[in-house]
């Protein structure tokens, strides 16, 4: 399933999108990946840099959506391609002087991109007044490009959203961002459960209906939804016609193990990145490709962890970097890794001399995530790694080499520790 989360700046759409990712099996596609590429130049010369600025937004996002869609994963898009074209690009076209041929080129390329990119099955729209949007933005640290917007920018964008038309054959779910507290996971879990149940009922029914909302002035906080009908804060607009394909609602997030292991020091095969292969075609770092032998060693550990614990295992080398074939900016990687660690039920770490793994262990310690550390004697670890055995949330096992790790995974004490069950600890 693909859900695009829409809304003005400051409406809470990013928080709404990240709650979906936190609570359900979705992968997040952020809106800001390429926002710094041309923006400074754009504000210096709108006419000259309109085309590269606007197309960079579309291309980067479209490539990422296509890549994830080909993998068969559920996707949450923070700001849709439709908004990039019909709201933000349209706003600038109305407010700056552009040659007609530049407009024609933009819309020709934009329409080609949107026609050849997997479409959202649903739009989750955060409805929020311009006044509240501005109030929220004033309370956060402004990014450089936000400081350059005109003073009435939020109001102008709000008017563009009023004229925005979504596709007819998708689910359109509108959330009252003025009243709903998107930061409250319990509130949002109830909201999403309600919405997905209604979508499932529609999928299974021969009839469809429109549910209306926003007839109450009360701010919604945790626990309130039991006393308020959800349709006061949510509207669901169903597709106008029934298609053969009905999107499958993802299940809720279950616990998974985050496998932290060295990357750069093990990437022994040089790799030349072609621009067409990049998910984010800017400011990327080429760390090389993970060798087949190391891949096999990691996959063996993954398979045994799944078998012994019953949990899924996230292996960033494979699931995020595609063994080094997919390049990301360091900023995006840091954001993605911390998001995945926040959702992990346990960490299994092979630190060696990897700075990255040591940082992942440190982050896990701060979050009180149970950590199993395999300290390889023939490799160099920071001195404090073995000392962590005294920490109640850490289980340290010494091995001579990585090939010995799978044998250790049959140890009941380790499995119970990972599964948070009573039993032996380190």
Both tokens of 112, joined, read 């080609």
Residue 214 maps to a domain: yes
Query: 220, 187 in Cβ contact below 8 A?
Result: yes
Tokens coding 72: 């068969």
Q: Are residues 326 and 287 in the same domain?
A: yes
Query: Per-residue pLDDT tens for 87-143?
Result: 999 999 999 999 999 999 999 999 999 999 999 999 999 999 999 999 999 888 877
CATH number at residue 278: 3.40.50.450
Q: How far is CA 263 from the centre of its chain?
A: 22
Asked if residue 77 is part of any domain, the answer here is yes
pLDDT of 423 reads 38
Around 56, how many Cα atoms within 13 Å sit in the side-chain half-sphere? 17
Same domain, 192 and 263: no
| Per-position DSSP letters for 159-214, written without gaps between them | HHHHT----TTSEEEEEETTTB-TT-HHHHHHHHHHHHHHHHHHHH-S----B---
**270 and 233 belong to one structural domain:** no
User: If phi over 0 gives left and psi between -120 and 50 gives alpha, with beta otherwise, what is residue 241?
Assistant: beta
In sequence order, the 6+-apart residues with CB closer than 8 A to the CB of 240 are: 168, 169
Residue 249, domain member (yes or no) = no
Task: State the distance between the two ends of the chain, measured CA to CA, in whole angstroms.
Answer: 42
Token representation of residue 69:
């869609």
Same domain flag for 188 and 266:
no
pLDDT for the residue numbered 425: 38
Same structural domain for residues 46 and 121?
yes
The three-class DSSP label of residue 364 is: helix
Q: What CA dihedral angle connects 34, 38, 39 and 43, to 10 degrees? A: -170
Q: Are 166 and 97 contained in the same domain?
A: yes
Is 53 a member of any domain? yes
End-of-domain residue from the set 184, 203, 237: 237
Residue 341, domain extent: 256-418
The reported pLDDT for the residue numbered 147 is 79
Please report the beta strands in 26-137, taking only residues with DSSP state E, as ranges in sequence order. 27-29, 75-78, 122-127
pLDDT under 70: residue ranges of the chain: 31-36, 206-230, 242-246, 252-254, 268-287, 379-383, 421-426
For residue 261, how many other CB atoms are within 10 A of its CB? Answer: 25
- Residues 201 and 332 occupy one common structural domain: no
Same domain? For 153 and 292 the reply is: no
Contact between residue 333 and residue 284 where contact means Cβ atoms under 8 Å apart: no
- Would 407 be classed as within a structural domain? yes
Of 205, 237, 269, the residue that ends a domain is 237
Going by DSSP bridges, is the β-strand pair 346-349/234-237 parallel, antiparallel, or unpaired?
unpaired
**What CATH number is given to the structural domain containing 44?**
3.40.50.300
Please report the pLDDT score of residue 290 as a whole number. Answer: 86
Domain count, the chain: 2
Asked, for residue 248, whether it belongs to a domain, the answer is no
**41 and 113 part of one domain:** yes
Residue ending a domain, choose from 237, 264, 288: 237
Q: Is residue 424 part of a domain?
A: no
242 in any annotated domain: no
How far is residue 64 from each of residues 81, 86, 322, 341, measured CA to CA in Å? 12, 20, 13, 21
Residues 183 and 275 placed together within one structural domain of the fold: no
174 and 141, same structural domain?
yes
Are 223 and 281 in the same domain? no
State how far the Cα of 330 lies from the Cα of 321, in Å rounded to an integer: 12
Q: Angle between the 100-115 and 46-70 helix axes, to the nearest 10 degrees? A: 10
């Amino acid at each position: 399933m693909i859900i695009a989360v829409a809304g003005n700046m400051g409406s809470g759409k990013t928080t709404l999108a990240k709650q979906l990712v936190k609570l359900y099996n979705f992968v997040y596609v952020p809106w800001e990946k390429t926002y710094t590429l041309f923006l400074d130049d754009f504000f210096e010369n709108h006419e000259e840099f309109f085309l590269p600025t606007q197309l960079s937004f579309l291309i980067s996002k479209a490539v990422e959506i296509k890549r994830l869609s080909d993998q068969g994963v559920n996707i949450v898009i923070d700001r849709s391609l439709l908004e990039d074209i019909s709201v933000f690009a349209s706003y600038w076209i109305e407010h700056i002087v552009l040659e007609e041929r530049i407009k024609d080129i933009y819309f020709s390329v934009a329409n080609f991109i949107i026609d050849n990119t997997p479409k959202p099955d649903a739009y989750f729209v955060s409805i929020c007044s311009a006044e509240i949007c501005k109030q929220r933005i004033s309370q956060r640290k402004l990014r450089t490009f936000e400081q350059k917007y005109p003073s009435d920018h939020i109001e102008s964008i709000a008017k563009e959203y009023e004229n925005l038309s979504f596709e007819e054959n998708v689910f359109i779910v509108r959330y009252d961002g003025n009243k709903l507290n998107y930061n409250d996971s319990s509130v949002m879990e109830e909201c999403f459960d309600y919405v997905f149940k209604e979508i499932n009922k529609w999928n299974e029914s021969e009839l469809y209906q429109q549910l209306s909302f926003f007839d109450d002035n009360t701010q919604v906080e945790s626990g309130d939804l039991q006393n308020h009908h959800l349709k006061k804060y949510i509207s669901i607009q169903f597709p106008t016609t029934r298609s053969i394909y009905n999107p499958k609602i993802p299940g809720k997030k279950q616990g998974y193990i985050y496998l932290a292991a060295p990357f750069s020091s093990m990437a022994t095969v040089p790799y030349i990145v072609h621009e067409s292969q990049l998910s984010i075609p800017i400011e990327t770092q080429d760390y090389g490709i993970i060798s087949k032998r190391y891949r096999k060693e990691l996959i063996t550990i993954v398979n045994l962890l799944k078998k012994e614990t019953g949990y899924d295992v996230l292996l960033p080398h494979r699931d995020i970097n595609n063994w080094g074939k997919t390049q990301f900016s360091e900023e995006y990687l840091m954001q993605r890794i911390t998001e995945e660690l926040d959702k992990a039920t346990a960490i299994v770490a092979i630190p060696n001399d990897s700075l990255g793994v040591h940082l992942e262990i440190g982050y896990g310690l701060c979050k009180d995530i149970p950590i199993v550390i395999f300290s390889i004697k023939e490799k160099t670890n920071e001195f404090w790694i073995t000392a962590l055995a005294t920490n109640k949330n850490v289980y340290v096992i010494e091995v001579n080499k990585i090939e010995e790790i799978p044998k250790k995974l049959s140890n009941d004490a380790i499995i119970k520790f990972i599964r948070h069950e009573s039993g032996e600890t380190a």
